[in-house]
Structure 1
């Protein structure tokens, strides 16, 4: 099995808060991330697929096609958006990086063709903080 990773980038704003809590508890748990005026990140997204290289091309998957899938189904929906308000697949969910990675997986998986498997979503929120999701 060979693993192929494509890196993409997007910018987005969000607010971490639980509407069932008062402002004091939200501030205690989420700190600056609970700012009612939002805050933003420069996200780096790594999408890893796996397969055996195709005998005729030597490719696991065409990286241009992978980039197109990621851009069409993820980047265009997230870049320069408010995750809490503008992104349909994040509606009603806590907009943590952990949940965003899970939802990105759910958006991409149906578009990965047979013979290739989605292996990992790695999402950097900052240069020092990232999450990895490997599916259920």
Structure 2
């Protein structure tokens, strides 16, 4: 049977600041992110199976991505936990704002790596994460592809 790729798309709003950066993005700002999640697998062929013909139910994929990425990052502000922004983060948290202190500089490149790890660990054994595309603006995105990352692909 053929291996098929399916893609589900997501949107969320996230703020961040790039500590030590030499441009405007060192300031706290936000993006309307667009995340495309592509998985690969073989469609179910068991006669009578409730999900006959599907690689994975889009609803099941949506649940995973929402729980691992969207629900956490939507309307949150992400800071590198090793930056001086930690004081600002604590102040924002004390005022009821959602803050994520990441182990990395919160660039689109690092965020898409983080998202790939989060999503991969939740997929069924017969399904692999094929790629992620995280669009930060209408003209800029970072892309993670399993074939380029064999050590981290599930």
Report the TM-score, using the length of structure 2 for normalisation: 0.75
Q: Which residue of 2 aligns with 1:52?
A: 42
Could you tell me which of 135, 142, 147 is aligned with 1:124? 135
Higher helix share: 1
Offset from partner CA, 1:22-81 (integer Å, 9 cap, x none) = xxxx3xx3x11111xx00000000110001111141111110000011101111110000
* Counterpart-to-counterpart distance in 2, 1:110 and 1:39: 30
Give the RMSD, CA atoms, in angstroms. Answer: 1.2
* Counterpart-to-counterpart distance in 2, 1:70 and 1:79: 12
Could you tell me which of 11, 15, 20 is aligned with 1:9? 11
Unaligned runs of 5+ in 2: 47-51, 80-88, 90-98, 150-154
Q: Which residue of 1 aligns with 2:29?
A: 39
* Counterpart-to-counterpart distance in 1, 2:121 and 2:103: 22
Give the CA deviation at 1:114.
1.1
In our comparison, the structure showing a higher alpha carbon Rg is: 2
How many matched pairs?
122
1:83 is paired with a residue whose SS is strand
